[in-house]
């Protein structure tokens, strides 16, 4: 009987632990993808500034409210601008940034293939 009591109490206490392991994982993942705006070269996850501490708390709250990762990113983008995201968004200003490596790769490949066939 006593054993059941203890078991029930433990089960109830464990249920109160709202933050599940996968929530912590996404929380860390989001914080790692955000730039700490008042620090130099640090992500929000790495920083212990007041700004980063509050931001981590907000991320945690938003996850518990049921917001998806994308929704949290767009929320923060709205508040702080695109600069807060480490991953630059694909738009008119960043076409060159995203497409240049692919272009260079294709051009290089074309040169190699041309040389190869010319030798033949």
Partner 1 sequence: MKSKFIPIILILFFLITFVIFFKGLKNPNIYTPDVNLKKEVPSFKLKSFENDSIVISEKIFKDNDYYFMNIWASWCIPCKKEHEFLMELKKDDRIELIGFNYKDNFTNASSFLKDLGNPYDIIVSDKDGSVSIEWGAYGVPESFLVYQNKIIKRFIGPINEDNLLEIQKIIR
Instruction: Provide the 3-class DSSP secondary structure of residue 120.
Output: coil
Which residue stretch of 4-12, 51-59, 66-74, 85-93 sits at the interface with partner 1 (rule: CB under 8 A)? 51-59
Instruction: List binders of partner 1 among 56-95 (CB under 8 A).
Output: 57-58, 61, 79-81, 83
Number of residues interacting with partner 1: please give it, by CB under 8 A: 17
Specify whether the CB–CB gap between 29 and 69 falls below 8 A.
yes
Binding flags for partner 1, 24-43, as an x/- string (CB under 8 A): -------------xx-----
- For position 117 contacting partner 1 by CB under 8 A, the verdict is no
Specify whether the CB–CB gap between 33 and 43 falls below 8 A.
yes
Map 33-89 to HEC letters.
Answer: CEECCCCCCCECCCCCCHHHHHHHHHHHHHHHHCCCHHHHHHHHHHHHCHHHECCCC
- For position 50 contacting partner 1 by CB under 8 A, the verdict is yes
List residues binding partner 1 (CB under 8 A).
Answer: 37-38, 49-51, 53-55, 57-58, 61, 79-81, 83, 96, 100
């Amino acid at each position: 009987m006593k054993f059941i009591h203890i078991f029930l109490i433990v089960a109830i206490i464990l249920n109160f632990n709202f933050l599940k392991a996968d929530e912590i994982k996404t929380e860390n993942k989001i914080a790692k993808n955000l730039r700490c705006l008042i620090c130099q070269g640090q992500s929000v996850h790495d920083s212990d500034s007041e700004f980063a501490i509050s931001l981590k708390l907000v991320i945690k709250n938003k996850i518990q409210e049921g917001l998806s990762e994308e929704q949290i990113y767009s929320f923060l983008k709205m508040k702080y601008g695109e600069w807060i995201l480490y991953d630059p968004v694909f738009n008119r200003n960043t076409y060159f940034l995203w497409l240049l490596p692919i272009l260079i790769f294709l051009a290089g490949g074309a040169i190699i293939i041309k040389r190869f066939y010319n030798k033949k």
